[in-house]
Every structure is written in C-alpha cells, then in structure tokens.
Structure 1
Amino acid sequence: MKTQTDEASIYLLSLHTLTDSVLVNFLPWLSESEVQRYQRFIRPERQRQFLAGRILLRQALARLLDMSATELELIEQAGNAPRLVRPELSDAGFSLSHSGPWVACAVSASTKLGLDIEMLNPERDFSALALQAFNADENAWLAQQDAGNRLHDFYQLWTTKEAQIKLNQKSMQCVHLPHPELSITLCSSRRLTSAPQLLQISLSAK
C-alpha cells in the first residue's frame, strides 16, 4: 500500500515588484464573480491585493496540478474562500492571505489549509491588541515570554489564531515559518510529512 504523502507549499509575492499596468493584464483571468468583487473594492490597494492574490493562487495551483493557470476557474463565496470548480480535485487545499505589500497563498494536493501572514510592526501597541484579541491563558503565556522576542511571539500567536479560523477544523497541525519581514503560520487538516516550502515568485502571463 502506498504511503500517503501530505505536503504543502507557500508562495509569496511582493506588490512592490508589480505596476498597475502589469496587473490589469491579468483581469481576463478572473471569473465573473471575481471581477464583480474586484470592482467593489474602493481602495486601490485592496484591488491590487485581491487581483494579485487570485492570479498568484491560479499559478500556484497550476504548478501543483500540472495544468494551465487559465484553465482554473474560481467562484466567489460570500464570507468564505473562493471555490475551485474542479470536482475531481476536491482533495486539493488552498488558502490566501495578505499584509501590506505582501500577498501569499498556500496550496496542497491532499489536505485543507489555513494560512495567515502579518507584517512585523514594532510600532504597533501589540500589548493593547493582545488584551483585546487573546484570552486570559494566551495573554498569560505572552507575558511569560522573553521581552526581547515578545513582538515575534505576539505575531506568531496572532497568525496562528487567524490561520486556525480559516481552516475551521477541530483537528489540525500548525507550523510557523521564519521570514525577516513577516509572521507566517500555516495550519493543515492533515499532518504534513515535510516542512512547507516557502517560495517567492513573480507573476507570469503564461
């Protein structure tokens, strides 16, 4: 019997590398429901994040599934992640996240995923945010951590909670990945057989 291999990859994209003139070339890739959502965003930054995220997701899935990115159709679901219109690929999992100029997506051929990224910002009053966002046990744990590393611990706890909410399953594995500018946490419904790959790529029109 062949052993099940559960793996995941995380793709990162910096919007600093993309001009609006390049991004709009990808609008025809979006489904009608995605275009409608794209047009509802008022802030240009959110439009850029949304469009870049959907194209990044298509290219990540295309690499994973050995398909053309333009073959993949995604349908908007109010309050939820988009749905991949490929019933035969129902085991595939993916999740999107963005923070500032960074857009990320995680993909897997065999397990559902929840991904969250947050830019590390030492100027935020993370102690006050922790009191609002975390429960008593979590705040007690945070207070016990080394003061010099508490910023990273705060963001790791924050991204873990957000990734768990996105996955929305009782049983899961969560891993935190190092990055100089970001806190990155990926949760999976199945235990991964190897650490997730962290890949930084550029968008391609192919």
Structure 2
Amino acid sequence: MIERYKRSIISKLFVKIILEKYYKMNTKEINIVRDQYGKPFLTKQNMELNLYFNISHSGEWVVCAFSDCEIGIDIEKIDTYSPKIAKRFFSHNEYNTFLEKSGRERDRCFFDIWTLKESYVKALGKGLSVPFRSFSFSFNDNTITLRSDIEKSHWFFKQYEITSDYCLSLCARANDFPLNLKKIALSE
C-alpha cells in the first residue's frame, strides 16, 4: 500500500516536471483536476488546456503520455494471474487467443490484452463504467484492431517493450506515436 502511494505521488510530480521541462509551463498556474469518472485533466486559471495526459504505474515503473488528443496509457508487470479473470473480462475471441498460448507466452498475451483494454478505457475517460467485454482486440501482422459496441470513432494503439517483465500499451485518437519512449530516471 505504501509503495502504491509513493508511485502515485511520484506520478503527479512527474507530470509537473514534464510540463515545466518539455512544455515550458509554469506549473504553479496549472491544476490537475479529475472529472466525474476520475480521469485527470489540466486547467489553467479556470480554463481547460488543449493538452491531454495520462499516467500509469506498476512495479518499478511510472509512465506518462502527453498528446493534443485524448490518450490512455497502461503498464503492468507480467505476473501470475487467474485464468478466470481472462474468461470474465475478455471477449470470446480474446479468450481463445489467450488459450492458444502456453507458459510465459500466455502470461504475456494476458497482459498485452489487459493493458490495451486499460489504455482504451482510460482514453475514453469513463473509467470502469465501460465493461471490458463490450469491446475486443484482435492482432494481425503487428496491427491491433479494436471492435467496440460503445464507440464507433477511430482509435489507434501501440505497444512498447520496456523490459521483458512489463507490458505497456498506448491508445490515442491520432496515429502519431513516437518510435521510442523517453526514459527519465527518478534522479533526473
């Protein structure tokens, strides 16, 4: 619990540092507020800024994504899980894709799908009010395709390899993902 609390504080500080360093904003004038679903957004002197961000943390990582459009990010440490969770939250096709794998490849598949789902829900900004089974991902030749009953507009997805022990997924309205991520050590 304490570690999670520390990561939460670090992630908020991380956002402010990035805003100052890369966006040249005076963070004393910036507020991070949450909407009714808990999605964070930026305001400046009672006006919403046209800069979107999202945060996620797991294990030793805190990750942030910034964009001029809606964005969601999720990172998860690949760990043990209950196959019952996959059956409960994955679509029929996702679950079958998951079952086709074995061992570490199955673990990776589970968290690839899970982080995609989390990033999408976070980008939508509606929190857990969006049932995970109401949308589905499929994979074909390094292309990630979303099928959704709740959202008909286009969303784009990218997954990054940080280390072999973590899955990271990004979801955004625009398909302009960076090729590589910028890693910033806590000491910076």
Please indicate, yes or no, whether the TM-score normalized by the shorter chain is above 0.5. Answer: yes
Distance 1:76 1:111, change over 3 A: closer
Structure possessing the higher relative contact order (Cα contacts under 8 Å, 6 or more residues apart)? 1
Q: Are the counterparts in 2 of residues 55 and 203 from structure 1 also a CA contact under 8 Å?
A: no
SS in 1 for 2:162: coil
Q: Are the counterparts in 2 of residues 126 and 151 from structure 1 also a CA contact under 8 Å?
A: no
What per-residue deviation string (whole Å, max 9, x for no partner) do you get for residues 35-80 of structure 1?
Answer: xxxxxxxx43333122111111111222331224444321233432
Q: Are the counterparts in 1 of residues 71 and 173 from structure 2 also a CA contact under 8 Å?
A: yes
What is residue 39 of structure 1 aligned with on the other side?
none
1:160, CA displacement in angstroms?
0.2
SS in 2 for 1:63: helix
Matches of 2:13 and 2:74, distance apart in 1: 18
What is residue 199 of structure 1 aligned with on the other side?
183
1:132 aligns with 2:88: yes
Structure 2 unaligned spans of 5+: 125-150
Percent sequence identity over matched residues? 22
Q: Are the counterparts in 2 of residues 174 and 186 from structure 1 also a CA contact under 8 Å?
A: yes
Matches of 1:115 and 1:140, distance apart in 2: 25
Matches of 1:81 and 1:196, distance apart in 2: 25
Matches of 1:194 and 1:83, distance apart in 2: 22
1:62 aligns with 2:20: yes
Matches of 1:185 and 1:112, distance apart in 2: 14
Q: Are the counterparts in 1 of residues 42 and 52 from structure 2 also a CA contact under 8 Å?
A: no
1:202, CA displacement in angstroms?
1.8
Distance 1:78 1:51, change over 3 A: farther
Matches of 1:59 and 1:174, distance apart in 2: 26
Across the two proteins, how many residue pairs are aligned to each other? 158
What is residue 89 of structure 1 aligned with on the other side?
49
Matches of 1:102 and 1:197, distance apart in 2: 13
1:164 aligns with 2:120: yes
Matches of 1:53 and 1:203, distance apart in 2: 14
Q: Are the counterparts in 1 of residues 116 and 170 from structure 2 also a CA contact under 8 Å?
A: yes
Matches of 1:203 and 1:85, distance apart in 2: 28
Q: Are the counterparts in 1 of residues 41 and 52 from structure 2 also a CA contact under 8 Å?
A: no
What is the TM-score with the length of structure 1 in the denominator? 0.67
Aligned pair partner of 1:190 in 149, 174, 183: 174
Matches of 1:127 and 1:198, distance apart in 2: 33
What is residue 52 of structure 1 aligned with on the other side?
10
Structure 1 unaligned spans of 5+: 1-42
For the pair shown, which has the larger CA radius of gyration, 1 or 2? 1
What per-residue deviation string (whole Å, max 9, x for no partner) do you get for residues 148-195 of structure 1?
Answer: 522111110000011011111642111000022311001111111642
Matches of 2:120 and 2:31, distance apart in 1: 26
What per-residue deviation string (whole Å, max 9, x for no partner) do you get for residues 113-155 of structure 1?
Answer: 100010111xx23423211221211101112246552211111
Root mean square deviation of aligned Cα: 2.3
